[in-house]
Amino acid sequence: MKAVILAGGEGTRLRPLTLKVPKPVVPIVNVPFLCYQLELLKKYNIDETILSVGYQPEKIQSVLGDSNKLHYIVENIPLGTAGAYKNAESFLDGATLVFNGDILCNFDLNKIIRFHQENSAVATIVLTQVGNPSSYGLVETAEDGRVIRFLEKPDVEDITCNTINAGCYVLEPEVLEMIPFGKKYSFEQSVFPDLLTSGKPVYGYVASGYWIDIGTPEKYLNAHLDILQRRFVPSVVLPWEDAMPKLQPEAKSKFHNSFISSSCTIGEKSQIFSSSINDGCRIGKRVIIDHSVIWSGVEVGDDAKIEGCVVGNSCQIGKNAVLSGTILGDNTMVLDYSRLEMASK
């Protein structure tokens, strides 16, 4: 079975982080995001993947490289989820596993595929359970898993389930026949409702395991924290022991649940908690970095404090600056003694 990853979006919800870096390759604990999906696919012997890309495709290809098992197909115009799948049709020759390009998970793909085959489904929608169903579009299924209906962000009194579309599907080739070529088309709004109306066997598989959509800065940061605090163990091998920077014994710096590139320099008496710091960063003395993500080439002045933040590439943060709950795009300069704090709601 082959896989298609829908990675053509501009990542608007993640801006300013995605202005210069396409969402499919934003770093998650210093590893390009799509590597997590590709490694999950390899774990289940799905080693031929088609990437449907559209926004800054050359940057994605330069990061992920070329191979005879990884194909790129470019959307010249935005095609939507189903349109992007249709765009990859020339590579497909059977049932296909389809992933949205912004989900991080550890689902058992063998169980999903087996469920699809046992039910002779035309389409299987992988579902995940959520704690607050009113914030999502829900997928209601019968006891055997057959999809009954879709509920788009229902009122509390109309909620009948807590299962949402997880952005992962197994699709038979006849689904391709329903999608016009070269036009914007949606699985969620068109293909799946039309399959249901026509009486085709559409099933929902409730997957257990970890799942998160990294498409917002808050969720992007949460994904890091889940990995750093071992709530999620990905298929990607993370070199924890080799990642720590080399320090002199007298530095007296403290690190806890953090991933710090060995190319970074850390000043004395700095403290870093549940944070990811990418290549080539220079952290001053007595700095506190807590529950934050720091991209490459960032300079942090002495006595600065960074808490609950995401800091883009090549930013400069001055001495005694305080950042709390902020998102900085690439090349941002924060002057000495500045305070950037998320406004209270």
Residues designated as active site: 153
Task: Give the closest residue to 192 by CA, choosing from 150, 158, 152, 133.
Answer: 150
Give strand pairing partners of 311: 294, 328
Cα–Cα distance for residue pair 130/223, rounded to 1 Å: 16
The answer to whether residues 336 and 322 touch, using CB atoms and an 8 Å cutoff, is no
List the Cα angle 265/270/271 in 5-degree steps: 115
The one-letter amino acid code at 254 reads K
Cα–Cα distance for residue pair 142/202, rounded to 1 Å: 11
* Residues 6+ away with beta carbon under 8 Å from 295: 27, 278, 310, 311, 312, 313, 315, 330
By the 10 Å C-beta count (0-12 exposed, 13-18 middle, 19+ buried), 293 is classed as buried
Cα–Cα distance for residue pair 162/128, rounded to 1 Å: 8
The one-letter amino acid code at 178 reads M
Residue located via tokens 């970890």 = 210
Give strand pairing partners of 31: 28
Query: Could you tell me how many residues make up the chain?
Result: 345
Cα–Cα distance for residue pair 330/315, rounded to 1 Å: 6
